[in-house]
């Protein structure tokens, strides 16, 4: 799946708490079935000029049965973040638990020029939906 998604992507974020975001993502091949994800984004509140810089890096390992995302930054470096059952006939779903919060993540490839990763984060007094849509960047041409 990811070998068809290599390259640069324009990212649009929509966060249910009234925030929006945009940025660039690169997906590179490290070796067979091992990929590198790097995201540089800006997040902002509607009708507000202040922005928050976002930066994320993940290793992605794809096998016949699973797709695993590993943290490459912070205290959880090299620990698993998401593990999807590699059943390409339906949307891929993964769960991650962080203290009292639960991250339910959906990964859906629409075509080689568009894919989505959505996170539903729930916890005590918390319910946040982060919708990430990735569009093939013209940098690839």
Per-residue pLDDT tens over the stretch 40-63 = 999 998 777 788 898 999 999 988
Per-residue pLDDT tens over the stretch 8-24 = 999 999 999 789 999 99
- Residue, of 89 and 20, whose pLDDT is higher: 20
Q: Give the model's pLDDT for residue 32.
A: 82
- Taking the CB of residue 21, how many other CB atoms lie within 10 A of it? 19
Q: Give the model's pLDDT for residue 51.
A: 87
Q: Which DSSP symbol is given to 64? A: S
Check whether 85 has a pLDDT greater than 80: yes
Inter-residue contact 112 to 5 (CB < 8 Å) = yes
Q: Give the model's pLDDT for residue 90.
A: 65
Q: Give the model's pLDDT for residue 89.
A: 59
Domains of the chain (ranges plus CATH)?
2-136 (2.40.128.20)
């Amino acid at each position: 799946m990811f070998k068809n998604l290599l390259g640069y992507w324009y990212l649009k974020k929509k966060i249910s708490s009234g925030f929006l975001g945009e940025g660039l993502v690169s997906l590179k091949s490290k070796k067979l079935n091992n990929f590198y994800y790097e995201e540089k984004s800006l997040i902002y509140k509607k009708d507000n000029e202040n922005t928050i810089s976002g930066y994320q890096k993940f290793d992605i390992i794809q096998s016949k049965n699973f797709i695993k995302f590993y943290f490459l930054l912070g205290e959880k470096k090299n620990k698993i973040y998401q593990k999807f059952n590699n059943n390409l006939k339906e949307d891929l779903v993964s769960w991650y638990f962080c203290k009292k919060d639960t991250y339910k993540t959906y990964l859906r490839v629409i075509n080689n020029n568009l894919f989505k990763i959505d996170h539903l984060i729930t916890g005590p007094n918390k319910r946040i939906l982060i919708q990430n849509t990735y569009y093939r960047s013209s940098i690839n041409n």
